[in-house]
Amino acid sequence: MNKFSKISKAFFIAGITAMCLSIAPKPAIANASVSIEQNNDGNYINIENDSSLKAVYNNVTYSNETFPAIRVDDVWMVPVKEFLQDILGCTYSYDENEGTLFISNNYGNASVSCVVGSKELSVGSSVVGMDLPVMKAKNTEDNAKKTIYVPASKVIQNLGYGYDSSATEISVTDNIKLYENSKQTEYENQYSNAINSIIYTKNLSGNDIVNITALNDLDENKVKENTDYNSIEYIYADTKNLLGDIDKSFENGVVTEIKIWEEENNTHLKITFDGRYVVSKQILANTFSVILEKGSFSIKALIPDGVDAKKITATDRYWNKQFYIIVPGNHVSFYKKYIPINNSSVIQKINVNKTADGNNTRIVVTTTKLQGYKITNEDGYFTVKIGAPKKIYKNIILLDAGHGGKDSGASYKNLYEKKLNLEIIYTRARKYFEANNSNVKAYWTRHDDTFINLYTRPKLSKTYSADMFMSLHMNSAGNRLANGTEVYYSSKNNKVTSTGLYSKKMASMMLNSILDGINAKNRGVRQAGFVVNKYNTVPSILVELGFITGNKDYPNLKKAAYREKAAKALYNGVEKIFKKYPTKR
């Protein structure tokens, strides 16, 4: 059973859990209390035993009753010799006359210094503030047994160890997974520098870091890199490798392998890592640091050789909580080997198959809920960030193809309104809204010949986080001389939004864009109580593009080129409206 101590005053709580670098002999158990000199004034506070606490290092429990770890004013304190030296394997020296304490970790690559009674911790050329001062202590039952206590968090972390704590325990972890150091200081004339040490550990932010040091300052212009989606290789030109060949594998970590070798007077460093992480580098004098941080991306995938990254596109299947990433060419076998990396709990699965025509590769991403997405091309790979639509897209519009299913709308000869609406606003306009250079994200109330309840349509603006709504219809009349475009808004939904946009202004701008695009007759902006406008929660308009029965509009609507112009005009109008009234997201 582990026995520790508890400060007799009520506001002191004691506890410990520790993990360290090297297994040290288990301290002997003794029934004794400890006294600490909290204020460096010669007055000691007694500490009573507490057998409920423990110290753990790499799943092995340690204990020390003679000088346990304690909590003073909610700050963890640890004894230097009994904890830092005997358990962590650190070395230390103490100048009793000056009260100065020097501590180094067991690799000798990190050290700190402090003074008894002071809250200042010297780390290299910097000074770090501690929560409590360094304190002297003695064993209550045997005053000849003395030690020094230091605030655990700042000292342990600045010695290069991982640190975590709660009210009942502290956890110290060995962050150094690889350390090699050469004492050699000479190299042949054909080299301009030499690598003499490497350390793989964690920095104070908790990120994995690989540090390479050289005998002389490193020149960034002499360092080349080759990047893969889960590995990176650095080539140090004209640089001697004093460490010899290193090939070290790691399990269950961020870095899975580190290799160092020399080839043709160049030193190579290759780091293979968990693909969910991203790499950055920093050069400071003779130290080259490689930092690995958890990526903010949701997906990362390699780009096959020969594929133009700019030609990678995406298409949304939001009604199925899916989106497709289309990679030019048949690369299914490539992505079976280099599986796209899933870095999001919202992504349910990622499948790879060929497109229907067999000419391209389709990466199918299925999510647990509606998500927006953004693709970013990197060096040799691309990443995808997903999130709630408003967190991904600056501008969102919900487009409504009027009628559908059992409701065919107006018709004349071989033209049907429901088909024209869907073809123009979805089939044809979609490529403009989904283009890589589009500033607008579009969702649609329907993408096929489906009947959607009239009152359901305006409610979908909230479902898709839309900033605007536009419904497309075709007009009809008994008189074939009736032709032209008119745009409707509702006075019941015409409030000025935070962007300055309101439905009537939206209708006016859209009408102008359509007239510019298809040169139709101007029938003006009109007010009416159409359900999709009246009951909407965002600026909303209904476009009557033309008269399906019109003697001029009918022949135009029959032409595919005219319908294409209409789709482009609708897209251009939306772009112009958002440009003048940006959402400021």
Q: Are residues 500 and 362 in the same domain?
A: no
Banded pLDDT at 49 (limits 50, 70, 90): low
Per-residue pLDDT reduced to its tens digit, 356-386: 999 999 999 999 999 999 999 988 899 999 9
Q: Are residues 199 and 212 in the same domain?
A: yes
Print the domain residue range for 480.
Answer: 396-580
Banded pLDDT at 29 (limits 50, 70, 90): very low
Q: Are residues 118 and 198 in the same domain?
A: no
Banded pLDDT at 19 (limits 50, 70, 90): very low
Instruction: Answer yes or no: are the C-beta atoms of 551 and 513 closer than 8 Å.
Output: no
Would the pTM count as exceeding 0.75? no
Per-residue pLDDT reduced to its tens digit, 525-558: 999 999 999 999 999 999 999 999 999 999 999 9
In a domain, 513, yes or no: yes
Handedness of CA 287, 292, 297, 301 (dihedral sign): positive
The residue type at 73: D
CATH number of residue 165's parent domain: 3.30.457.10
Q: Are residues 246 and 375 in the same domain?
A: no
Per-residue pLDDT reduced to its tens digit, 418-433: 999 999 999 999 999 9
Q: Are residues 374 and 437 in the same domain?
A: no
pLDDT above 90 for 582: yes
pLDDT above 90 for 27: no
- Write down the pLDDT at residue 20: 36
In a domain, 545, yes or no: yes
Question: What share of the chain has pLDDT > 70, as a percent?
Answer: 92
| Structural domain ending residue among the three candidates 294, 309, 340 | 294
Range with top average pLDDT, 10-14, 125-129, 284-288, 427-431? 427-431
Query: How high is the mean pLDDT of the chain?
Result: 91
- Write down the pLDDT at residue 59: 66
pLDDT above 90 for 409: yes
CATH number of residue 560's parent domain: 3.40.630.40
DSSP assigned state of 230: S
Q: Are residues 236 and 157 in the same domain?
A: no
In a domain, 380, yes or no: yes
pLDDT above 60 for 31: no
In a domain, 462, yes or no: yes
User: Directed axis angle between helix 503-518 and helix 560-580, to 10°?
Assistant: 140
- Write down the pLDDT at residue 7: 36
In a domain, 585, yes or no: no
Give the full edge-to-edge strand order of the sheet including 299-302: 341-342, 299-302, 381-387, 372-377
Handedness of CA 39, 42, 43, 44 (dihedral sign): positive
Q: Are residues 231 and 307 in the same domain?
A: no
Is residue 22 classed exposed, middle or buried when 0-12, 13-18 and 19+ CB atoms within 10 A define those classes? exposed
- Write down the pLDDT at residue 425: 99
| Structural domain ending residue among the three candidates 151, 173, 195 | 173
